[in-house]
Amino acid sequence: MTNMKTLMMITMLMASFGLTQAQEAALVYPGSNGKLEYVLHANTGETDSVNVIPDFSHCGYMGGGVALPVGQVPVKYTLNPQNGNDRQRIQDAIDFVSALPLDANGFRGAVLLTAGTYEVNDGNIDEEEAALVISASGVVLRGQGQGSNGTIIYSDWEEQHILLEIKPTNEPDYDETNTTPITDAYVGTGAFSFNVANPSGYSVGDDIYVIFTPNQQWLDDIYANDYMGAGDIHWTTGDYTKEFERKIVAINGNEITIHSPIVQPLQAQYGGGEISKISLSSGERLNNVGVEDIRFEGVGVTSGTGALDKHRLQYAVYSNDLTNGWIHGLTSVHVSESLIKARTTSYYTVEECAYLAPLGPKSGGWRYPYNLAKESNHILMHRNYTEDGRHDFVSAARITGPNVFLDSYSTMGEISGPHQRWTMGTLFDNIQTNDGSLVAEHRGGGASGHGWAGVTQIFWNTESNEIICDAPMGHLNYAIGCIGTEILSTRIPNTWPGAYRGHYDSPGTHVDTRSLYLKQLDDRLGCAAVSLIATPEQMTGNIYTALANWAGEGPFGPGPNGSPCVNVDPPLAQFTSASSLCDGSVTFTDQSTNTVSSWLWDFGDGNTSINQNPGHQYSGDGTYDVTLTVTGPYGSDVEVKVGEIVVNLPEVTSTTGSSSCGTNSLTLLATGKTSLQWYDDAGLNNLVGTGTSFTTPVLNTTTSYWVVSNVSTAFDGGLLNDTVGGSGAYFNANTNHGLFFDVLENFTLNSVRVYANTGGNRTIEVLDAQGGNVIHTGSYNLPVGESVVTLNYEMTVGNGYFIKVSGATVDLFRNNGGVNYPVSTPGILDITGSSAGVAGYYYYFYDWKISRECASASTEVEATVNALPTVVANTTATGLCPGESVTLTGSGATSYLWDNGVVDGVSFTPGATNTYTVTGTDANSCENTDQVTITVSSILPVVANASATTVCVGDLVTLTGSGATSYLWDNGVVDGVAFNATATTIYEVTGTSGACNNTDQITITVNALPTIVANTTSDTICSGDPVTLNGSGGVSYLWDNSVVNGVTFNPTVTNTYTVTGTDANNCSDQDQITVIVDICTGVNELNEETQVTSFINTSNALQLEMRNLNGRYNLVVLNALGQVVVSEQISVNSTLQIETINVSSISKGLYYINIYNEVDNYTMKLVK
């Protein structure tokens, strides 16, 4: 049941989405089983909540829910139209069929009038006489269409008359016996049962009258005669002693139960009531009489009969003393009062009829198209149309009811509702009269004493221009789901005493149960019965537009066919949900019943869906109300589940990294759900800490860590205890039994509750579905009676798990009936059955406690180790004269702070020598320092500096000054520029800084180069002979060609050797010597007589002067390396012989000349 508080909340919710408001009536609405629930309530001015809205479902042919036999009764007589008057022909045909015997179904047969026009005025119709009469049961008058091209019966008689009257030849008379009073002090409206003083003489199936026997107190309290005038008809208790015809369906002691409810209260204080058994004593009541598919027309406007003249066709059909009849597809044209007036008629259906173009007065007792008269009850009029009527759908005086007007349409009408003098129990269900009003009121003395028009008048989902729903003391009228302007007029207490506002529910909008009658019929007989009497358009919504477009021309449309069975119940919203706890995703499953065409979900977080079975992702924690609104052709319903979804997502809500300047240990922070775990790898393989903080080891480089949040959610599973399933016993026969279960999400089975008959150890096992492998086992000592066993078994997603007890003893309680599987914890666990193989058994394990761990996504947290900046203190000068300025700047960082009030990069004038410290801070807020000293002195500390103070002749020297800003040297020296020092000299520098200057000197000592001499023990030797080379003039010597000074070696070729000698001043010089190596095959020494002289003459030629030589000689010139550069043969045979040899091709240097033959060998030096 959807309570009113919920309805109000849903109303506001749907309004926020711009949706049509969905709601049910407060006094009758579909319950949890889909059937209507009726709310007991008090009537006007009373406090006893004993009344309910009556059940109208017994109204209609054969008591409702029975298909009309339209077109089914066999034709026994057929007429075709002809010229002239047809009244007697038709009456003869009716009489012919009326004389036939009744068949097994209670029918004699049908008279068929084929299409065309039939005239029934033969000038012999007396005023208010009927042109045609059916006076026998089981007779049907059938045409071939109610449109203008169908079957038309036309009467132009200009007097008030009835075209077709249905009445028995002899009116029925009933004996009333066994009268006994009703003993209940108050039998409420809608009651089916009551107690009587003496039920003897009554049996189930008896027809009875339930009689209201009012007293004067009742007349006084309802103000029955307070507004009557002198000429008005006053009400009396005798006139309003009313008989409700009912049938007994059960007798239980003094309690009588009837088939159809009482439609007004019977109160002892107002005279109470009584019952009488009735039986037909004379006459008859017609049964199974029908009129089908025909058009009745009266005379139009003539010279003798104007448009408002009442002297014309007054009633199309007038029925008396008829039960179980029907009119289907009748159109009336130019009728002054009623298409149908039903008097003393019951269980009657009038459908798909049209009241067109009425003529006659639109006042007084005229133009009452659908008219319920004296003692009519259980009549259903539906799918009907009327135009230009005065009282369109109307019930007249003292109608006992119940009666129903359903799914009908009026245009240009005035008033529908109870007309006068206490009509009872009428349902106006889905009536639209946009031009007219629906009225239930006290009419005062108007129209000769109409008084209270009616009680228990129910306007349900109607549409009208205006609506009046007043009620007398002790009774009630209802306007539920009605659209129209409420009019109270002056009829309220203190202005019109005795008139009270009736029960209004959902004014201005329809309630979701579209048709009360169809829903009540469905509740009683099922939707199959509804489909036998209602058309597809009725089954799917209101049919006002279809009726307006049809307006009685031709057949209305496809009629009821009984198939398929359409459930006309409004939908009943129901749903379930299954959550994935770790990510906030939820699957919703619609389980609504009855016909649903659209769904609207509100997930409680501002999101909606129109899918039938939506999935939804919740992004934030919280408890969410979920609303499902379902709508179908027969109404809407809403289910609100408060707190349905609880989202507690595992989440690391914040992290705080840490940083250091240089090597350090750092503390990282995080916040999250329940517990936090820290890892040193992104794969979360190595747990290093837990909690909201984590302190790293000492780090010398930036390092990342990862933190996750874990949330544990608790759930219950299984039967709560050993009483839930009903019967059971302790079981100890074997260890085979247990429970099968499916794990839908990973969880921990923390504990179960068991009931032991004997104390001692039990082994509890969980087996998988893969051949029954034991995946969890434990031994637990159980006391006698109830105990909770802590298991802590980790379960992973899978089906077919089995939990059991093994070992020598079981002796635990198990249910052996009353358990329905699955026993579910939605989305987590389904206990699917037991091993017994018998329905209802449940073994051992109750009250499962389950926890589900969810981990959040990991969040990286960084421990940052920043290197210290390399800070340098820079200055524009380190030495100053008094009054001079200097600028200090730092480098290597991003910001700088100096001590002693110095601002980085800003010039200042120090007053004295000082050391300044700068602190540099980089972008990581890391700091370092440096210092610089600024000397302030009146004597400028100028210093003469040299790259070397002692040098050798030819060495370069660079002189620089320091302690000032500029420098000037004597002797042409430029500060910082190298020069050759040639002699020992004193150099002076003048340094200047601003106004300060000073001088300094430096002596550069220049030492002379030593005189180095290369010496040999022999400058000419034979090949392989030893020779020793020695240097002189220095203190150390270094020879080339790997010669070691003073060490003998054995050259094999002539060579020149260079020695570098260094003296005590580290000055060096060189000398060379050539050692001529001869092959020494025989060398003669030159003597005074034998001489050879050589020189280079002016022609750059070698000139030899040879004395006292004779013979042929080989002449060879060798270079210092012993290589032959000139080789010739010469002949000498004189005392002095001069030979000239071309040596222009050889370069300058030392050479050796060797002149030899077999006898002589002469060698000499030659320098070119």
What is the tens place of the pLDDT at every residue in 387-429? 999 999 999 889 999 999 999 999 999 999 999 899 999 999 9
Model confidence band, residue 1079 (pLDDT cutoffs 50, 70, 90): low
3-state SS, residue 1030: strand
In this prediction, residues 454-461 reach a mean pLDDT of: 97
Distance from C-alpha of 1126 to C-alpha of 1147, rounded to nearest angstrom: 12
C-alpha to C-alpha distance for 403 and 375, rounded to whole angstroms: 11
What was the pLDDT predicted at 1020?
Answer: 83
pLDDT of res. 10:
31
Point out the least confidently predicted range of 792-801, 1061-1070, 1075-1084. 1075-1084
> Residue 594 burial (CB < 10 Å; 0-12/13-18/19+)?
buried
Please say if the pLDDT value at position 954 is more than 90: no
Q: Output the pLDDT for position 76.
A: 97
Residue 2: predicted pLDDT: 33
pLDDT for residue 358 is more than 60: yes
Would you place residue 1023 in the very low, low, confident or very high pLDDT band (cuts 50, 70, 90)?
confident
Contact 460, 489 (CB under 8 A): no
pLDDT in tens, 464-483: 999 999 999 999 999 999 99
Q: Output b/e per residue, 665-693; b: 16+ Cβ within 10 A.
A: ebebbbebbebbbbbbeeeeeeeebeeee
Torsion of CA 21, 27, 33, 35, to 10 degrees: -100
Residues of the chain above pLDDT 90, percent: 64
Q: CA 968, CA 420: separation in Å to the nearest integer? A: 139
Decide if pLDDT at 660 tops 50: yes
Of 723 and 178, the structure prediction assigns the larger pLDDT to 178
Percent of the chain with pLDDT over 70: 93
Give residue 1031's pLDDT.
92
Residue 311 has pLDDT above 50, yes or no: yes
Give mean pLDDT, residues 447-473: 91
What lies within 8 Å, CB to CB, of 695 at 6+ separation is 665, 666, 667, 668, 689
Q: Which of 415, 392, 295 is nearest to 338 (CA)?
A: 392
Neighbours of 74 (CB within 10 A): 11
Higher pLDDT, 3 or 404: 404
Condensed to tens digits (0 to 9), the pLDDT of residues 902-934 reads: 999 999 999 899 999 999 999 999 999 999 999
Average pLDDT over residues 998-1024: 90
C-alpha angle 22-24-25 in degrees, rounded to nearest 5: 140
Q: Which pLDDT score, from 0 to 100, does residue 705 have?
A: 96
Burial 245-279 (b: 16+ CB within 10 A, else e): bbebeebeebebebebbbbbbbbeebbbbbbbbbe
- Residue-level pLDDT at 7: 33
One-character DSSP codes across 7-64: HHHHHHHHHHTTPPP----SSEEE-TTSSEEE--B--TT-----B-PPP-TT-SGGGT
The average pLDDT across 227-239 equals 83
What ranges make up the beta strands (E) of 899-1023?
914-921, 927-936, 943-946, 950-952, 956-957, 959-962, 966-969, 979-980, 985-993, 996-1007, 1013-1016, 1020-1022
Count of residues in the chain = 1168
**Residue 730 contacts residue 773 (beta carbons within 8 Å):** no
Express each pLDDT in 67-105 by its tens digit: 999 999 999 999 999 988 999 999 999 999 999 999 999
Mean pLDDT for the stretch of residues 1106-1117: 85
Alpha helices in 208-298 (DSSP H): 216-221
Distances (CA, A) of 932 to 491, 875, 916, 941: 108, 7, 5, 17
In contact, 671 and 693? CB cutoff 8 Å: no
Asked if pLDDT for residue 826 goes beyond 50, the answer is yes
Q: What is the pLDDT of residue 445?
A: 67
Chain-centre distance of CA 1033, in angstroms?
108
Q: Is the pLDDT of residue 116 over 70?
A: yes
Residue 414 main-chain phi, psi, to 5 deg: -115, -65
- Please report which helix (H) or strand (E) contains residue 540, including its range: helix 536-540
pLDDT above 50 (res 16): no
Q: Which residues pair with 1138 in a beta bridge?
A: 1105
pTM over 0.75: no
Q: What is the pLDDT of residue 724?
A: 66
Residue 866 has pLDDT above 90, yes or no: yes
The pLDDT, as a whole number, for residue 590 is 92
Q: Is pLDDT at 568 greater than 80 in this prediction? A: no
Mean pLDDT along residues 31-60: 93
Backbone angles phi, psi at 10, to 5 degrees: -65, -35
The pair of three-digit structure tokens given for residue 343, joined into one six-digit string: 């008097």
Is pLDDT at 6 greater than 50 in this prediction? no
- CA 523 distance to own-chain centroid: 37
Q: What is the pLDDT of residue 229?
A: 75
Rounded CA-CA distance 477/490 in Å is 18
Mean pLDDT of the chain: 89
Which of 633 and 543 is assigned the larger pLDDT? 543
Distances from the Cα of 593 to the Cα of 29, 488, 511, 573, 1154, angstroms: 15, 40, 18, 7, 139
pLDDT confidence bin for 580, thresholds 50/70/90: low
Is the pLDDT confidence value at 13 over 60?
Answer: no
Please compute the mean of the pLDDT values over residues 967-995 and round it to a whole number. Answer: 91
Check if the beta carbon of residue 27 is closer than 8 Å to that of residue 38. Answer: yes
Token digits of residue 674: 């329940």
Instruction: Give the range among 184-188, 603-607, 834-838 with minimum mean pLDDT.
Output: 834-838
- pLDDT band for position 565 (50/70/90)? low
Q: What's the pLDDT score for residue 1022?
A: 81
Residue 986 has pLDDT above 90, yes or no: yes
| Span 49-75, pLDDT tens digits | 999 999 999 999 999 999 999 999 999
> What value, to the nearest 5°, has the Cα angle with vertex 73 and ends 72 and 75?
115
Q: Given pLDDT bands bounded at 50, 70 and 90, which one contains residue 26? A: very high
Mean pLDDT, range 115-119, rounded to an integer: 96
d(CA 547, CA 123): 36
pLDDT for residue 128 is more than 60: no
- The mean pLDDT of 673-701, rounded to a whole number, is 91
pLDDT of residue 566: 56
